[in-house]
Chains A and B, each alone.
Chain A
Amino acid sequence: MIKEVEEKQEVTIVFAGDSGDGIQLTGTQFTNTNALYGNDISTFPNYPAEIRAPQGTLAGVSGFQLKFGSIEVATPGDDCDVLVAMNAAAFKVNIARLKKHGTIIINSDGFNARDLKLAGYQHSPLEDKSLNDFRTIQIDVTKMTRTALVDSGLGKKEMDRSRNMFVLGFLYYMYNRKLEGTIEFLKQKFAKKPALIEANVGVLKAGYHFGDTSEVFTSRYNVKAASLPAGSYRNIMGNQATALGLIAASQKSGLDLFYGSYPITPASDILHELAKHKNFGVRSFQAEDEIAAMCSVIGASFGGKLGITASSGPGIALKAEAIGLGIMLELPMVIVNVQRGGPSTGLPTKTEQADLLQAYYGRNGEAPMPIVSASTPSDCFNAAFEACRIALEHMTPVFLLSDGYIANGSEPWKFPTSADLPNITPKFVPEKKDDETYLPYKRDKNLVRDWALPGMKGYEHRVGGLEKEVDTGNVSYDPDNHEQMVKIRAEKIAKIADSIPLQIVNNGAEKGDVLLLSWGSTYGVVKTAVKECNLRGMTVGHIHLTYISPFPKNLGDLLKNYTHIIVPEINNGQLIKIIRDQFLVDAKGLNKIKGIPFSTKEIIEVIEQKFEVA
């Protein structure tokens, strides 16, 4: 039966199931396939901290949200058009986010008495009237999967592991997508287990054919390619983009990359990615703890490598003393913080922007350092590259802030070629004449000292954590010298403002009633909200900061162009403190501290209030 094809501009889907249901894999595959069709995409994986939380419970629900469209997609969407619920718990956690008249695809086998009880239902929600507003498609996915695999020779448990492929195949039919990409993926994933390739591909096709033959749909949907700027694209996740940015900086600076780190959620994927690329000269070192990871980076930088470490808040806290040493030594290194909910162990798999003040102030003594932040999954590449550039050209440790949301989220990336990227020039000591004395802490006009490496003859010198004498770098307890050195170190960081781009108004009005001043992973949602408000006739501007320390030199002037300044943050108000401190402006915070990103709606509401009051 040939069905009508209905065009959609954008679709938001939430895949939800038990944390053992393969939800993340299903979502990723659906994302990758749509990416190859040229859709613009934004994803938001949301899963529990436990590897296998108790099966069937609310705590064990794993979700993967994505929005794909033929128009620009900057957020994974607020409410969803389609909810896939593999069991009652997944249904309960996510049903509130389904739009009115949305479609819900239910695995009916996940709603038996036990599932209902675990999800806290007295009666099955599928049987009451609450679903009348939705279009409900109930499929016994377990049964269908087992039927498809009846001749496979697999046990029931093994068969059930392919259930996610049935759902994926069904959605591929629904959205008029080919199966080839996922089949290719399955062939690679199970290269050593041909029986599993056959089983998974079989179930994927069964799901697809079920869509075709079951008469569930009167029409299929199509989301055309987005009109993205011309060029070559790939889909990329934030942590992967960070790793690539670091390797690119290593290649463009001619320095091998040393990566010392200790496993921590959500930063570990950077280590996993880098460890794959030893043929780029990457030395990835899994240290015994966070402190050792940081110190090994200091040793590597002293030896002339591009030293990098990454962690999340708790690990960064442990590294703080050594970062201070890095500042005292004035050696280049980058510290990546993939932020998560805190304090303490906090919410390991949930996102937050609450380590900004830790990056800004979290060391003993006067210890300023540059901070660069990433805005979107693909922007992690630019931010990582830029953090390395600043470190190497200004001889300083640099903080790169990412967070769990963009680290695990993905989007299409118009990737650069190697030739598009600028060269980075490390600040090596120039050739010296025989009679010259080498002064390790002598500085250039940017107050940057030269980098002399072990093995360079005639430059033997000692560095350390004790206060340095101006120029010589010898230990000094002289009071005037200390004050002078504290000021020099601060000015050196301030001068980095000369080498970074001026701030632009990223979106919306160049001047007007309201400014949204954001940083980090809120970029997409603020951009979407500002666009919407301007369409509705409000005059709203959006400035998004990549450089938080130092700020671009013109930021203060830009802030004067607006009557109200709103600072949206996934924390209890951190950037806003720095902004108020530096610019004496009456900025107002818009804060959400729930471990999840803002919705567009939440931002728009606050902007609207400003206009109502005005």
Chain B
Amino acid sequence: MSETLTKPLTAKDFTTDQDIRWCPGCGDYSVLKQVQSIMPELGREKEDIVFISGIGCSSRFPYYMNTYGMHSIHGRATAVASGLKISRPELSVWIITGDGDALSIGGNHLIHMIRRNFDVNVLLFNNEIYGLTKGQYSPTSPEGKVTKSTPIGSLDHPFNPLKLCLGADSTFIARTMDRDPKHQREVLLKGSQHVGTSMIEIYQNCNVFNDGAFEVYTDKGSKLQETLFLESGKPLIFGADREKAIALDGTIPRVVNLAEANEADLMIHDERNRFQAQLLVSFFDDPKTEGHLPRPFGVFYAEDRYRYEEAMEEQIAGATERMGKGNLDLLLSGSNVWTAE
């Protein structure tokens, strides 16, 4: 007994005996590996951790985690997790979802869970395609996307997932990608430490149905030009030689040459600034357009706000203090009793 208590957990403790069924080369493998690797750092026992997923390729995830887990139904992992978290606030709850699961069929539950700010971690695997149903466009696919269900191009304007989350008053939003394990690990850890709903969007490559969707952010040749890694307290600097920065022209962010920029105009990242977060989630240009802004990665925004489940516990404690612990006999009799002899 004492041995199991003192022996620190390792990533291996979190693997299961189930065969992993993702396609070879799928970005999901990388996320699974990173998640397993940060688990020991949560400081929680395996039995106190729960992974809940919806439906989709990534939603197989719980089967591969040696914790408690539930592979629920399409779009509803967030709703299942809400009920679990209200019931068992002390558990560490992780939601595994995809762009179709979270933003299409489960869009309603996602925004409502976010505004309630349950203390859960959401890993939103965004591959901009429906993989499990074999290649239809998703709510994050770009306009005009040619897929099996849109042979002459999609007519849908896509969601900007993090902007949507911020619109629902998310208390933690971050973005990372499958191809950068180090960054992913960092963001996952930060998300796990945030108390409240941590929304982590992960750019994840579907090498079968949407290969290269995020290549511009992961390819050595373009990555430094097209990505902007956020560090709180530091200016937004990027470029092959870190020669570019973002400066504010009034309220409009623009790419400037760092050497020539007026230091006072440079945007300094501040995770606690909700107005700046609104600007950062809007860095969402098509990388093919002229003068576009780089795509930010890292923690965009974090704030501390009350958690629904804690407030619920307080209400229960308050009601119990005010009215006394529930007495079933008094409840059953009510206040207007008469007796038949």
State A94–B55 Cα separation when bound (angstroms). 54
State A422–B45 Cα separation when bound (angstroms). 36
State A225–B90 Cα separation when bound (angstroms). 54
Query: Which residues 274-318 in A have Cβ within 8 Å of B in the complex?
Result: 277-283, 285, 287-289, 291-292, 295-300, 302-305, 307
State A390–B174 Cα separation when bound (angstroms). 45
Residues A277 and B331 in contact, CB atoms below 8 Å apart? yes
Query: Which residues 220-242 in B have Cβ within 8 Å of A in the complex?
Result: none
Neighbouring B residues of A307 by C-beta, 8 Å: 83, 87
State A226–B81 Cα separation when bound (angstroms). 51
The answer to whether the Cβ of A119 comes within 8 Å of any Cβ in the partner chain is no
The answer to whether the Cβ of A247 comes within 8 Å of any Cβ in the partner chain is yes
Neighbouring A residues of B316 by C-beta, 8 Å: 278-279, 281-283
Q: How many residue pairs at the A-B interface have CB separations less than 8 Å?
A: 207
Total interface residues in chain A, CB < 8 Å: 73
Residues A234 and B52 in contact, CB atoms below 8 Å apart? no
State A410–B100 Cα separation when bound (angstroms). 47
Question: What residue in chain B is nearest A462 (Cβ atoms)?
Answer: B69
Residues B63 and A279 in contact, CB atoms below 8 Å apart? no
Neighbouring A residues of B45 by C-beta, 8 Å: 457
- Check A292/B88 contact, CB under 8 A, given A181-B336, A287-B79, A457-B45: no
Binary A-proximity of B105-118 (CB < 8 A = 1, otherwise 0): 00011001000000
**Shortest distance in angstroms between A395's beta carbon and chain B's nearest beta carbon?**
15
Which of A251, A298, A454 makes the CB contact (< 8 A) with B88?
A454
Residues A296 and B336 in contact, CB atoms below 8 Å apart? no
- Check A280/B331 contact, CB under 8 A, given A32-B336, A454-B50, A474-B18: yes
Neighbouring B residues of A377 by C-beta, 8 Å: none
Neighbouring A residues of B275 by C-beta, 8 Å: none
State A228–B69 Cα separation when bound (angstroms). 53
Residues B331 and A258 in contact, CB atoms below 8 Å apart? no
**Shortest distance in angstroms between A2's beta carbon and chain B's nearest beta carbon?**
27
Residues B329 and A417 in contact, CB atoms below 8 Å apart? yes
Residues A325 and B332 in contact, CB atoms below 8 Å apart? no
Residues A36 and B336 in contact, CB atoms below 8 Å apart? yes
Residues A464 and B71 in contact, CB atoms below 8 Å apart? yes
The answer to whether the Cβ of B152 comes within 8 Å of any Cβ in the partner chain is no
Residues A230 and B340 in contact, CB atoms below 8 Å apart? yes
Interface on chain A toward B: helix, strand, loop, or mixed SS? mixed
Residues B336 and A234 in contact, CB atoms below 8 Å apart? yes
The answer to whether the Cβ of A530 comes within 8 Å of any Cβ in the partner chain is no
Residues B82 and A292 in contact, CB atoms below 8 Å apart? yes
Query: Which residues 93-143 in A have Cβ within 8 Å of B in the complex?
Result: none
The answer to whether the Cβ of B210 comes within 8 Å of any Cβ in the partner chain is no
Binary A-proximity of B69-95 (CB < 8 A = 1, otherwise 0): 111110010011111111110110000
Residues B88 and A303 in contact, CB atoms below 8 Å apart? yes
The answer to whether the Cβ of A11 comes within 8 Å of any Cβ in the partner chain is no
Which of A229, A277, A304, A460 makes the CB contact (< 8 A) with B87?
A304
Residues A299 and B83 in contact, CB atoms below 8 Å apart? yes
The answer to whether the Cβ of A212 comes within 8 Å of any Cβ in the partner chain is no
The answer to whether the Cβ of B211 comes within 8 Å of any Cβ in the partner chain is no
Neighbouring A residues of B67 by C-beta, 8 Å: 460
Which of B83, B315, B323, B336 is packed against the most chain A CB atoms within 10 Å? B83
Neighbouring A residues of B84 by C-beta, 8 Å: 299-300, 302-303, 454
Residues B71 and A465 in contact, CB atoms below 8 Å apart? yes
State A36–B337 Cα separation when bound (angstroms). 7
Question: What residue in chain B is nearest A464 (Cβ atoms)?
Answer: B71
The answer to whether the Cβ of B46 comes within 8 Å of any Cβ in the partner chain is yes
Binary B-proximity of A466-478 (CB < 8 A = 1, otherwise 0): 1000000011000
Residues A281 and B326 in contact, CB atoms below 8 Å apart? yes
Which of B65, B66, B319 is packed against the most chain A CB atoms within 10 Å? B319
Residues B323 and A279 in contact, CB atoms below 8 Å apart? yes
Residues B91 and A455 in contact, CB atoms below 8 Å apart? yes
Question: What residue in chain A is nearest B341 (Cβ atoms)?
Answer: A230
State A140–B45 Cα separation when bound (angstroms). 75
Neighbouring A residues of B80 by C-beta, 8 Å: 295-296, 298-299, 302
Residues A247 and B328 in contact, CB atoms below 8 Å apart? yes
The answer to whether the Cβ of A345 comes within 8 Å of any Cβ in the partner chain is no
The answer to whether the Cβ of B10 comes within 8 Å of any Cβ in the partner chain is no
- Check A244/B340 contact, CB under 8 A, given A288-B108, A288-B112: no
Neighbouring A residues of B83 by C-beta, 8 Å: 258, 260, 285, 295-300, 303, 307
Residues B81 and A299 in contact, CB atoms below 8 Å apart? yes
Which of B62, B323, B340 makes the CB contact (< 8 A) with A228?
B340
- Check A464/B72 contact, CB under 8 A, given A292-B79, A299-B52, A416-B332: yes
Query: Which residues 298-341 in B have Cβ within 8 Å of A in the complex?
Result: 312, 315-316, 318-320, 322-326, 328-329, 331-334, 336-341
The answer to whether the Cβ of B22 comes within 8 Å of any Cβ in the partner chain is no
Neighbouring A residues of B336 by C-beta, 8 Å: 32, 35-36, 181, 234-235
Which of A234, A298, A456, A462 is packed against the most chain B CB atoms within 10 Å? A462
Residues B109 and A277 in contact, CB atoms below 8 Å apart? no
Neighbouring A residues of B286 by C-beta, 8 Å: none
Binary B-proximity of A248-273 (CB < 8 A = 1, otherwise 0): 10010000101010000000000000
A-B residue pairs in contact (CB < 8 Å), sample of 22: A37-B338, A232-B338, A234-B336, A244-B331, A278-B315, A287-B79, A295-B109, A299-B52, A299-B79, A299-B80, A299-B84, A300-B87, A304-B87, A321-B73, A415-B332, A416-B332, A456-B47, A457-B46, A460-B68, A462-B71, A463-B71, A464-B71
Which 4 pairs from chain A and chain B are nearest by CB? A464-B71, A296-B83, A299-B83, A280-B326
Task: Given contact pairs A234-B334, A256-B87, A299-B79, enumerate 13 new A-B contacts (beta carbons under 8 Å).
Answer: A251-B326, A260-B83, A278-B318, A292-B112, A295-B73, A296-B83, A297-B83, A303-B83, A307-B83, A418-B329, A462-B16, A462-B70, A464-B70
